[in-house]
Amino acid sequence: MQKIQTQGIHHITLTGADRQTSIDFWEGVLGMPFVFEQPNLDDPNQSHLYFDPGDGRLITIFTNEERKPDPEPAPQSIGCVHHLALDVSQATFRQIAERLEARGIEHSGPKDRGFMDSIYFRDPLGLLIELASYRFKPPEGVQMGEVMLEAHRIRVARGDYNIQEVHLADAIELLTRETRRSLSDNRSPKNPYS
């Protein structure tokens, strides 16, 4: 049977609290521009807020003025969303703990994930949010997933426990060698002038 081929995330919709709490968190804390609002077309008791997370896609929030913030952790059982991870630069990552603390938001502190850095905290309704920053930049024309695939292959071949920066560096070197031609390699076209 043929696959239904996806081409990326279109949008993510979350159930939020009231309108102002949602705007204060998604735009006020996370800096996502509030780009538009309309009724929830499936439930007239809710509004539908749209935020730009920075990559041209959307995160949308269903709001209801009767729902208030609840700091209890959201369920993470089978079938539930465990957490939402958002991408940040290394420069921003280094500021997160201080900025969360200035707002009185509890967090995990920085976590070393080998190929990235992470920090965790909860939104006003208890959803676990991760702010993550890759420790590498892929070569031009190469996607993050391709670097991770090669780094994984290298890690497994070496018997290492998890992906570390050395695996990333070696993967980037391999991918660069495969995608860029050089006068000193065998793949270069023969000189038609010789």
Can you tell me the distance from the alpha carbon of 167 to that of 114, in angstroms, rounded to the nearest whole number? Answer: 10
Q: What is the model's pLDDT at position 107?
A: 98
User: Which of the four pLDDT bands, split at 50, 70 and 90, describes residue 194?
Assistant: very low
Can you tell me the distance from the alpha carbon of 54 to that of 88, in angstroms, rounded to the nearest whole number? Answer: 9
What residue spans of 17-114 are helical by DSSP H? 19-23, 90-102
Is the sign of the CA dihedral 171, 172, 175, 181 positive or negative? negative
Can you tell me the distance from the alpha carbon of 153 to that of 143, in angstroms, rounded to the nearest whole number? Answer: 16
Question: 85: which strand partners?
Answer: 130
| Three-class secondary structure of residue 27 per DSSP | helix
Q: What is the model's pLDDT at position 180?
A: 85
Q: What is the model's pLDDT at position 179?
A: 86
CA 153 to each of CA 7, 77, 147, 158: distance values in angstroms, whole numbers, following the listed order: 24, 31, 10, 9
User: Which of the four pLDDT bands, split at 50, 70 and 90, describes residue 181?
Assistant: confident
The one-letter code for the residue type at 13 is T
Q: How many Cβ atoms are within 10 Å of 77's Cβ, its own excluded? A: 6
The pair of structure tokens assigned to 151 is 């780094």
Question: 63: which strand partners?
Answer: 47
pTM here is 0.88
pLDDT for residue 193 is more than 50: no
pLDDT for residue 144 is more than 70: yes
Percent of the chain clearing pLDDT 90 (strictly above): 89
